[in-house]
Structure 1
Amino acid sequence: MPQLRYAQPRYLSLLLGSWLLVFFITRSVLLLSHLADADVGALDLLRLYAIGLVYDLSFLLYAALPLALYLLLCPNRLWRSLAHRAALYALTSISLFAMLFTAVAEWLFWDEFGVRFNFIAVDYLVYSEEVINNILESYPIYPLLALLAVLAIGVTVALMRPLASALNAEPQPKPKALLFFGSLALAACTVSLVIGQDFPLGMGGNVYQRELASNGPFQFFAAFRNNELDYQQFYTTLPEHAVGSLLRDEVREANARFIGSDPQDIRRLIDNPGQPKPLNVVLVTIESLSAKYLGSFGDTRGLTPNLDELRQRSLSFSNFYATGTRTDRGLEAITLSIPPTPGRSIVKRIGRESGYGSLGQQFNALGYDSVFIYGGRGYFDNMNAFFGGNGYRIVDQSSVAESDMAFKNAWGMSDEDIYQQTLKVADADHAQGKPFFLQLMTTSNHRPYTYPEGRIDIPSGDGREGAVKYTDYAIGQFLQQAQEKPWFNQTVFVFVADHTAGSAGHEDLPVANYHIPLFIYAPALFEPREFSEVASQIDLAPTLLGLLNVDYSSTFFGRNVLREDRAPGRALIGNYQHLGLFDGTDLAILSPRRGMRRHDDALGRSHESSSSISDSLLRRDIAYYQGASHAFQKRLIAWHPTSLPDEGLSKR
């Protein structure tokens, strides 16, 4: 290229070439570490690296524009000065350090989540205090940073000859510099119109291949920009009346009366038979507890003796599924009973996260004290704003005295400590004669996997196995202490995971990786039994209110799965782009750019095929997610405590 005989383009090309090499090495290392999962043939390998090059160049076009503008407009006198030349050498070292740091960060992120940077990485940047402390407690970060700095300086020294040659070349004339920059800017604009998060257009195939072909920094900034996806714009739709009809069929129960005027409004009056039971409720949401870790679900390591025993004494759900892959998704589904709409969860849609018909609001209307108890600081993931704006009062780490916390790490106090706070709140409410609804969110089963020493036979910080076993230990201790309380026999304990420990797999939505436990325990009130039909986190709230025989005005997309007149089981699962409906056998998936697929025998051979809007499973899938997105946008899920008239309800 004629342009490369000039100093500035030559210097810029050295930096960008170094980035390309690092991206190539990162992609290759990730591929080699997951070669069996990627299942690549020769053509797949060629396609993977070709698409990868497109992604890499797309990111570098964006990233190069500010530096290119400076280099090309830099006055010749400044360009030739020794100080400026030293600054460019330093910039080279800094850039190399950033490249190596990005590569290591990608490796660690992939090791944790099995994907390139995405919404999670964006959240980690926003909630930096917890994340930085977690990293410091999990990895030897300072020696690692020092090593990366030494490597960056060493590579800069190795590049001294080509760098000096570039810097000694003739500076580019300003008209040609402006033309060169204009070409870069035009290319960047073109790329922004063509290349997206889901490039190339095909939505099927092996997920590992697509993630490996992608580029981490590109996906990071794309996720930051696209934190909400408009359902109507990106997904397949049905007419409003069809969505409303399908949704009402999905949530319909005997004696329920729909009262919404919008065709897609599912607000209805629920009449649960029997006399109301004014029982206390303690709902424990457990961090990252996959069903596969429990011995009663097949694990042979003996990590969960207390939970395995609890399952035998509870109303247990053997085919229960999380809606998403993050804590905020689990809390959204349990609290609001709504499918995982595309983009960010409602919990984190700042400014639009409150005022909804939550489970806490339902209990408040019954005279309960609704409390959200969190082991960490509730500003993380916007939890305090969400729960505080939806009927709960907050107890989190910041409201607990240091003397009341025996142990804490980057994410908050240990599970033992959060259970002690729960007992205190329950005791105080009971002393005042007030029923309580306490919704907990634990933190111990999370990297860095640290907990108080001497509790179990696995050292603190030794990995996920120890965190799971400690989580189980703390639950056993909590129930043992609760049994001594005067309110125990009038309390329903619910234990459920927020999501699984990992959702990555060959497919966009690997159903087995959304399988979580749900146990409802009240030995003085309910006989132990197992419910084996497929159910979803969005079913927890209406099922719980059904167990208490509560009549209420519902905006829930879930249903009481224990009613005899229930519809067949199904589970809603998704990530921030792909939206699935699993009926116990097959899985329908909606994707951006109006993609429609299904996986037949989703827990077995999982044969993927394209589908159409005539597919009844796809139509149900569309109805749930189009209806949920519409309900959120139009605030059809808002809390209206006065919308529960006396007529039509047998017990009020």
Structure 2
Amino acid sequence: MFRKIHLPGRFALLFSFIAWFLIVSQLLRLCFFIWQYDEVSWNIINLLRTLLTGLMFDIGAVTYICLPAILYYVLLPNRWIGLWADKALVWFFTSLTIFILVFTFFAELTFWDEFKTRFNFIAVDYLIYTHEVVANINQSYPLPLLVGGVTIITAAMLFLFYKRRAFSKTFTHRASLAQRAVLLAGGVMIALVYTAFVTNNSAEWSSNRYNSEISKNGVYAFFAAFRNNQMKYNEFYTSIDNNKAFTIVRSKLVGSESEFTGGGFSIHRTITDSLPSGEKKNVVFILVESLSGSFMKEFGNQEHITPFLDSLAQKSVFFENLYATGTRTVRGMEAVTLCIPPTPGQSIVKRPENANLYTVNSVFKARGYDSNFFYGGDGYFDNMNAYFGGNGFTIYDRGRGSVLSDKIKTTRNNIDDNEVTFENAWGICDEDIFNKMLKVADRQYKDKLPFFNFVMTTSNHRPYSYPEGKIDIPSGTSRQGAVKYTDYALRDLFQKAKTKPWYKNTVFVIIADHCASSAGKDEIDVANYHIPAFIVNLPESDNKKIAQQCSQIDLFPTLFSLMHWNYESDFFGKNVLGSNYEERSLMGTYRKLVLMKQEKVMVLSDQKKQAFYTWNKKDNSLKPLPMDRSFLDEAISWYQTADYLFTNKLLK
């Protein structure tokens, strides 16, 4: 009986492939262990659990991968086994699958190098925007060599299977009905079990984030992220009564300068400055790609890669203790324009129903400003054009076309080739995008239009390439070079702007979108959310260094206060210089939501979990604390109310 259902034979190649996938997946896992040798837990129990958990996810991944092959082997009649069509199909799809998986294993290494994590929602986004990603890979890595290497490894694996007679057995053995039934039932049952009971979150068993990430399987994690990139707060996170949540948040937003004008589930209020409303100063807002605070000498860096920004910190309103809300550009955009905590899942910038929101541009538009969004790449990437166009900005980017969609009636202007001196995968260099903004600002001044110009830079991004001869670090060699070039481009912008007649009436605001890296062994790496921010060219008497702990969402409310503006607000951010400002910062990943107050850190996780820590700034470590219910309720309130207002279209 047992001999009749012995599976190899016709299925020899299938089982050889499964064994190959499991072995290579574990070798990759060990590679990540060695890569992060000083961060992972090498405790023998933790090591074994990491490998065994990983094996469990590898089995799930290879089962899904093999389901089409299982169906083919089960359904093909015995009389057709070994025919030329059978051989052609098996050889072709086996070769293609191995090639794709070998390429995927290499891609995991590069993804880990960039993000220190297995595939997640970022990888899903990158799959959508193939032009930018393929160009980035081509400019960052020797792509012909990579493809050649993948081809050689694929050929080697096929040759190994051939020498072990896996192909010959597959094409010469017949399969009994019992063997087919066992294979089909086993494959389907395993797939159903993983679909129903095994989530990617099951890998997150360790307090050491690296052990948890290494426990995952990249293919499995990718498709898990593909399915779950939007998360409803109440379904995934600990919640409290909405009345209580809004009461807590409103108590945090109350102030002598603000008056709530909406009741119940609303934070709408009127902000009134004690001084007469200020003049219409132009505002140039620059969101700098991946500008970690740790790059600046001001915060201890000794590489001298931000000389201009370090000098600017001494003659501006400089935020010393400000934290990004997230780890991606769209999170930074969301934070500075909506002044809202990071809701779980995708950024609002990428979600449906994100047009006609009450943003900082609503404040500018109410005062008659001409608002523009400048991006050196194609603003289709990450849905930027749809978001900014849908919220009142005129678009300047490297895309084509004048109207974004029938629903978004805004102008889209192309940055012409004759305006570009250097371009890489992500867009034109920072000097070029700044020069474009200067040209538009000249026109706005000529037309007597007060302007709000929002510029998103791209140069400080892999492949870290920029025009040669500008700085003393060769292009395309390091992140340090990209940072130093961005610093150079900002200096060049100010030198040119100072010659303009509109400069004396223009405020420049500079802030990072996020840090260059946000991964660490703890579930949230606090130090890697610390970013610099500057408000430049206000009256010299306003210049100061702000030591209060704050968030990206507080930047514009503070700017509006410094300009003595009265305005309507649906913002969660506050004026950091206000007498009743309470220090705190809000940050997160697409799944972790964090409230930090001084050194205390509350982390809300999906699966309705939470953890409370004290943060040691000296070594950037988190140590558990007993749960504080009032602190927990406040953390919940910030995120629950933000999610409620957007989901119920109350930010329109």
> Scaled by the length of structure 2, what TM-score is found?
0.94
Question: Which of 554, 561, 572 is the equivalent residue of 1:557?
Answer: 572
Aligned equivalents of 1:35 and 1:48: distance in 2?
14
Q: Is the Cα contact below 8 Å between 2:257 and 2:274 reproduced in 1?
A: no
Q: Which residue of 2 aligns with 1:647?
A: none
Q: Which residue of 2 aligns with 1:483?
A: 498
1:181 partnered with 2:187: no
Aligned equivalents of 2:8 and 2:602: distance in 1?
55
Question: Which of 586, 605, 630 is the equivalent residue of 1:616?
Answer: 630
User: CA-to-partner distance for each residue in 1:290-317, whole Å, 9 max, x for gaps?
Assistant: 0100111111111111101111010101
Q: Is the Cα contact below 8 Å between 2:123 and 2:222 reproduced in 1?
A: yes
Distance 1:219 1:611, change over 3 A: farther
Question: Which of 111, 131, 134 is the equivalent residue of 2:113?
Answer: 111
Distance 1:626 1:602, change over 3 A: farther
Deviation at 1:465, TM superposition (A): 0.8
Distance 1:431 1:74, change over 3 A: same
- Residue 18 of structure 1 aligns to a residue in which SS? helix
Mean Cα deviation higher: 165-174 or 111-120: 165-174
Long gaps (5+) in structure 2: 400-413
Distance 1:4 1:105, change over 3 A: farther
Q: Is the Cα contact below 8 Å between 2:204 and 2:212 reproduced in 1?
A: no
Q: Is the Cα contact below 8 Å between 2:204 and 2:213 reproduced in 1?
A: no
Q: Is the Cα contact below 8 Å between 2:591 and 2:606 reproduced in 1?
A: yes
User: CA-to-partner distance for each residue in 1:227-250, whole Å, 9 max, x for gaps?
Assistant: 101110110001111101111012
Deviation at 1:461, TM superposition (A): 0.6
Q: Is the Cα contact below 8 Å between 1:313 and 1:523 reproduced in 2?
A: no
Aligned equivalents of 2:44 and 2:650: distance in 1?
51
**Residue identity matched to 1:145:** V
Q: Is the Cα contact below 8 Å between 1:587 and 1:602 reproduced in 2?
A: no
1:163 partnered with 2:170: no
Deviation at 1:8, TM superposition (A): 4.0
1:213 partnered with 2:227: no
Distance 1:187 1:5, change over 3 A: closer
- Aligned length in residues: 633
Q: Which residue of 2 aligns with 1:66?
A: 68
Q: Is the Cα contact below 8 Å between 1:8 and 1:72 reproduced in 2?
A: no
Deviation at 1:381, TM superposition (A): 0.4
Q: Residues 10-409 of structure 1: matches in 2 within 5 Å?
A: 10-160=12-162, 161-168=164-171, 170-174=173-177, 176-200=179-203, 202=205, 205-261=207-263, 263-277=264-278, 278-349=280-351, 351-398=352-399, 399-409=414-424
1:636 partnered with 2:650: yes
Deviation at 1:96, TM superposition (A): 2.3
Aligned equivalents of 1:532 and 1:255: distance in 2?
22
Deviation at 1:193, TM superposition (A): 2.1
Aligned equivalents of 2:541 and 2:396: distance in 1?
29
**Residue identity matched to 1:60:** V
Q: Which residue of 2 aligns with 1:576?
A: 590
**Residue identity matched to 1:256:** S
**Residue identity matched to 1:348:** K
Aligned equivalents of 2:461 and 2:553: distance in 1?
24
Q: Is the Cα contact below 8 Å between 2:554 and 2:575 reproduced in 1?
A: yes
Q: Which residue of 2 aligns with 1:450?
A: 465
Q: Is the Cα contact below 8 Å between 1:337 and 1:537 reproduced in 2?
A: yes
Q: Residues 591-630 of structure 1: matches in 2 within 5 Å?
A: 591-604=605-618, 606-609=621-624, 612=627, 615-630=629-644
Q: Which residue of 2 aligns with 1:648?
A: none
Deviation at 1:14, TM superposition (A): 1.4
Mean Cα deviation higher: 285-294 or 181-190: 181-190
**Residue identity matched to 1:554:** S
**Residue identity matched to 2:316:** S
Q: Is the Cα contact below 8 Å between 1:138 and 1:448 reproduced in 2?
A: yes
Q: Is the Cα contact below 8 Å between 1:22 and 1:99 reproduced in 2?
A: no
Aligned equivalents of 2:266 and 2:177: distance in 1?
62
Mean Cα deviation higher: 446-455 or 143-152: 143-152
User: CA-to-partner distance for each residue in 1:66-106, whole Å, 9 max, x for gaps?
Assistant: 22111210122322213422432333332322222111100
Aligned equivalents of 2:143 and 2:482: distance in 1?
22
- Residue 198 of structure 1 aligns to a residue in which SS? helix
Deviation at 1:282, TM superposition (A): 0.6
**Residue identity matched to 1:621:** A
Identity %: 39
Q: Is the Cα contact below 8 Å between 1:85 and 1:167 reproduced in 2?
A: no
Aligned equivalents of 2:217 and 2:262: distance in 1?
46
Q: Is the Cα contact below 8 Å between 1:115 and 1:504 reproduced in 2?
A: yes
Q: Is the Cα contact below 8 Å between 2:13 and 2:167 reproduced in 1?
A: no
User: CA-to-partner distance for each residue in 1:379-406, whole Å, 9 max, x for gaps?
Assistant: 0000000000112111112311100111
**Residue identity matched to 1:355:** N
Aligned equivalents of 2:393 and 2:346: distance in 1?
22
Q: Which residue of 2 aligns with 1:644?
A: none
Q: Is the Cα contact below 8 Å between 2:555 and 2:573 reproduced in 1?
A: yes
User: CA-to-partner distance for each residue in 1:537-566, whole Å, 9 max, x for gaps?
Assistant: 111121122222222221111111111222
1:437 partnered with 2:452: yes
Long gaps (5+) in structure 1: 639-652
Aligned equivalents of 1:622 and 1:150: distance in 2?
52
Aligned equivalents of 1:30 and 1:443: distance in 2?
29
1:428 partnered with 2:437: no
Aligned equivalents of 1:49 and 1:265: distance in 2?
49
Distance 1:291 1:607, change over 3 A: closer
Q: Which residue of 2 aligns with 1:642?
A: none
1:534 partnered with 2:549: yes
Aligned equivalents of 1:549 and 1:229: distance in 2?
38
Deviation at 1:342, TM superposition (A): 0.6
User: CA-to-partner distance for each residue in 1:495-522, whole Å, 9 max, x for gaps?
Assistant: 1000000001011211100000001101
**Residue identity matched to 1:172:** A
Q: Which residue of 1 aligns with 2:411?
A: none
- Residue 508 of structure 2 aligns to a residue in which SS? strand
Deviation at 1:524, TM superposition (A): 3.9
**Residue identity matched to 1:422:** M
- Residue 452 of structure 1 aligns to a residue in which SS? coil
Distance 1:400 1:217, change over 3 A: same
Distance 1:527 1:6, change over 3 A: closer
> Scaled by the length of structure 1, what TM-score is found?
0.94
Aligned equivalents of 1:237 and 1:52: distance in 2?
32
Distance 1:453 1:255, change over 3 A: closer
Aligned equivalents of 1:232 and 1:610: distance in 2?
25
Aligned equivalents of 1:493 and 1:397: distance in 2?
24
Deviation at 1:51, TM superposition (A): 0.5
User: CA-to-partner distance for each residue in 1:253-272, whole Å, 9 max, x for gaps?
Assistant: 214222234x3321111112
Aligned equivalents of 2:170 and 2:182: distance in 1?
20
Distance 1:37 1:500, change over 3 A: same
Aligned equivalents of 1:4 and 1:575: distance in 2?
48
Distance 1:94 1:611, change over 3 A: farther
Aligned equivalents of 1:42 and 1:208: distance in 2?
15
Deviation at 1:188, TM superposition (A): 1.2
Distance 1:142 1:188, change over 3 A: same
1:517 partnered with 2:532: yes
